């Protein structure tokens, strides 16, 4: 199924204002939808790691913005007061640096889309809030050309391996000499495509039938963000919340390396913080499963599932304020880590380690923006991070960064130039 089938979804019900379900003879895949993304439109696609279904939002009917980290709670409160439908969006990581890389992306943005698809194995539920935009979208999809496979060359790491070692030494010295217990430090790796810039780069990067979270966002400048995150910030269904503690990493099936004291303490920091932050918002004790192992394509993590009933009247604005950012992407204590990260890292994280997803009165699902990449023209920027605690070693943490971008390396068909 290609762009002709996607166009037919819009042609069948061009005047629909309410939801209409369109059955399909075969399941529509994420790769097929992404391959037909029209350029120069806001597009947001999200799939949960357990779900066979996914959602796609096109265009902006109404939006809410947070221009700085401190305004994120007010932004969500405005959505809660003004909108009873599903909105799509997210917040960037709060510790920012001056950067030209992220000029076309905002600190926080949430959108009620003009056109919305809810795709499951049997068909698509279509909501069209703007018939004129729907027709524009049809024309845009008609103009999408097939994506050619591009090869990419690895150009640079920021920091490079030597600077990374220095950065880890500074972090471990701070952990020994201050109240800082853990800090998550990141690296960006820049790739360039060979030949003509790909028109829709993420289409060639998304693997078939990927079972984890998938997040694709395109802004009006045509820049694209992609995340294969294993981690939800939380899922709220009515008055019940599900969240998870994911920290501590090793290569797949290397259980000896997974259960080191370093990994266990790193995971404990995250679990402890989540429980502490949820305590005043929930009824009684949270249900916390024993630590398990989350196995992904190339790596595995220590994993604890957490669930609880919320106190009456607790809203998403309070949950986001309490849980974001987590020690899994920032550190412990949070304020100390947020101060240290921009001092040590040589780049602006932007959307990386921020959050993104959907919010509605009935259900909210927010994922943590990790295992991620930013695509700009002929450039792909891959982001990866590692939790640094007392006893962390620079070489092993560098190897962890490499493990975390393995999926991208394979899909980009990249080689080191």
Q: How confident is the model at residue 364 (pLDDT cuts 50, 70, 90)?
A: very high
Q: Which domain holds residue 169?
A: 152-198+239-350+366-416
User: Distance between CA atoms of 319 and 242, rounded to whole angstroms?
Assistant: 11
Q: For residue 187, what is the domain's CATH number?
A: 3.60.120.10
Q: How confident is the model at residue 384 (pLDDT cuts 50, 70, 90)?
A: very high
Return the pLDDT at 148: 52
Task: Kindly report the backbone phi and psi dihedral angles of residue 272, in degrees, each rounded to the nearest multiple of 5, phi listed first.
Answer: -60, -40
Residue 310 has pLDDT above 70, yes or no: yes
Return the pLDDT at 360: 97
Return the pLDDT at 128: 87
Q: Find the Cα–Cα–Cα–Cα dihedral 113, 118, 123, 129, rounded to 10°.
A: -30
Residue 241 or 297, more confident: 241
Total structural domains in the chain? 1
Q: Measured between alpha carbons, how far is residue 293 from residues 186, 230, 250, 280, 366 in Å?
A: 23, 12, 11, 28, 21
> Which tens digits make up the pLDDT trace of 217-250?
999 999 999 999 999 999 999 999 999 999 888 8
Residue 34 or 138, more confident: 34
Averaged over 35-64, what is the pLDDT?
Answer: 89
Return the pLDDT at 149: 63
Return the pLDDT at 1: 45
Radius of gyration, CA atoms only, the chain: 21
Highest mean pLDDT range out of 12-21, 144-153, 297-306?
297-306
Q: How confident is the model at residue 103 (pLDDT cuts 50, 70, 90)?
A: very high
Averaged over 322-331, what is the pLDDT?
Answer: 92
Instruction: Please report whether residue 102 resides in a domain.
Output: no
Residue 16 has pLDDT above 50, yes or no: no
Residue 378 has pLDDT above 50, yes or no: yes
Instruction: Please report whether residue 355 resides in a domain.
Output: no
Residue 182 has pLDDT above 50, yes or no: yes
Return the pLDDT at 417: 46
Averaged over 308-315, what is the pLDDT?
Answer: 95
Instruction: Please report whether residue 107 resides in a domain.
Output: no
Return the pLDDT at 67: 86
Burial class (CB in 10 A: 0-12, 13-18, 19+), 46: buried
| Backbone CA torsion sign across 256, 260, 264, 267 | negative
Residue 416 has pLDDT above 70, yes or no: no
Q: What is the pTM of this model?
A: 0.92
Instruction: Please report whether residue 329 resides in a domain.
Output: yes
Residue 216 has pLDDT above 50, yes or no: yes
Stretch among 56-70, 138-152, 273-287, 359-373 having the lowest mean pLDDT: 138-152
Share of the chain above pLDDT 90, in %: 58
Residue 288 has pLDDT above 80, yes or no: no
Stretch among 30-44, 161-175, 329-343 having the lowest mean pLDDT: 30-44
Task: Kindly report the backbone phi and psi dihedral angles of residue 59, in degrees, each rounded to the nearest multiple of 5, phi listed first.
Answer: 75, 170
Q: Find the Cα–Cα–Cα–Cα dihedral 145, 147, 150, 152, rounded to 10°.
A: 100
Residue 24 has pLDDT above 90, yes or no: no
Residue 78 has pLDDT above 70, yes or no: yes
Stretch among 142-156, 307-321, 336-350, 389-403 having the lowest mean pLDDT: 142-156
Averaged over 302-331, what is the pLDDT?
Answer: 94
Burial class (CB in 10 A: 0-12, 13-18, 19+), 85: middle
Instruction: Please report whether residue 96 resides in a domain.
Output: no
Instruction: Please report whether residue 90 resides in a domain.
Output: no
Instruction: Please report whether residue 336 resides in a domain.
Output: yes
Residue-by-residue DSSP string for 8-62: HHHHHSTT--S-EEEE-SSPPPHHHHHHTPPTTS-EEEEE-TT-S-EEEEES-SE
Long-range contacts of the stretch 82-85 (C-beta < 8 A, 24+) = 83/112, 84/360, 84/361, 85/112, 85/360
Tally of residues, the chain: 417
Q: How confident is the model at residue 2 (pLDDT cuts 50, 70, 90)?
A: very low
| Residue among 12, 41, 13, 45 at smallest CA distance from 29 | 45
Residue 177 in contact with residue 390, Cβ under 8 Å? no
Instruction: Please report whether residue 297 resides in a domain.
Output: yes
């Amino acid at each position: 199924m290609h762009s002709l089938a996607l166009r037919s979804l819009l042609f069948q019900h061009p005047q629909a204002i309410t939801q209409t379900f369109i059955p399909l003879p075969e399941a529509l895949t994420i790769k097929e939808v992404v391959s037909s993304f029209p350029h120069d439109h806001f597009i947001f696609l999200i799939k949960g790691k357990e779900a066979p279904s996914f959602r796609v939002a096109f265009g902006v009917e109404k939006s809410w913005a947070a221009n700085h980290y401190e305004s994120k709670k007010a932004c969500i409160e405005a959505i809660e007061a003004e909108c009873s439908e599903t909105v799509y969006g997210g917040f960037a990581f709060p510790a920012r640096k001056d950067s030209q890389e992220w000029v076309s992306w905002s600190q926080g943005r949430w959108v009620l889309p003009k056109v919305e698809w809810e795709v499951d194995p049997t068909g698509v539920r279509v909501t069209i809030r703007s018939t004129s935009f729907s027709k524009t979208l049809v024309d845009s999809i008609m103009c999408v050309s097939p994506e050619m496979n591009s090869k990419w060359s690895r150009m640079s790491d920021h920091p490079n391996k030597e600077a990374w070692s220095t950065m880890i030494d500074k972090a471990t010295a701070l952990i020994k000499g201050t109240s800082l217990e853990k800090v998550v430090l990141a690296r960006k790796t820049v790739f360039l495509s060979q030949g003509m810039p790909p028109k829709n780069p993420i289409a060639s990067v998304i693997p078939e039938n990927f079972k984890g979270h998938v997040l694709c966002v395109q802004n009006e400048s045509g820049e694209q963000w992609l995340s294969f995150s294993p981690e939800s910030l939380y899922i709220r269904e009515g008055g019940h919340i599900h969240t998870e503690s994911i920290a501590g990493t090793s290569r797949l099936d290397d259980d000896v390396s997974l259960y080191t004291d370093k990994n266990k303490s790193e995971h404990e920091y995250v679990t402890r913080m989540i429980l502490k932050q949820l305590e005043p918002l929930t009824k009684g004790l949270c249900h916390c499963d024993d630590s398990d192992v989350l196995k992904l394509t190339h790596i595995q993590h220590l994993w604890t599932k957490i669930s609880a009933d919320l106190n009456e009247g607790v809203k998403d604005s309070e949950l986001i304020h309490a849980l974001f950012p987590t020690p899994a992407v920032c550190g412990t204590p949070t304020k100390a880590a947020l101060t240290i990260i921009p001092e040590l890292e040589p780049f602006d994280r932007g959307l990386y380690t921020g959050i993104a997803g959907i919010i509605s009165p009935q259900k909210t699902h927010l994922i943590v923006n990790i295992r991620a990449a930013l695509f700009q023209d002929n450039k792909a920027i891959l982001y990866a991070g590692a939790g640094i605690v007392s006893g962390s070693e620079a070489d092993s943490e560098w190897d962890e960064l490499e493990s975390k971008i393995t999926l991208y390396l394979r899909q980009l068909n990249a080689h080191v130039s």
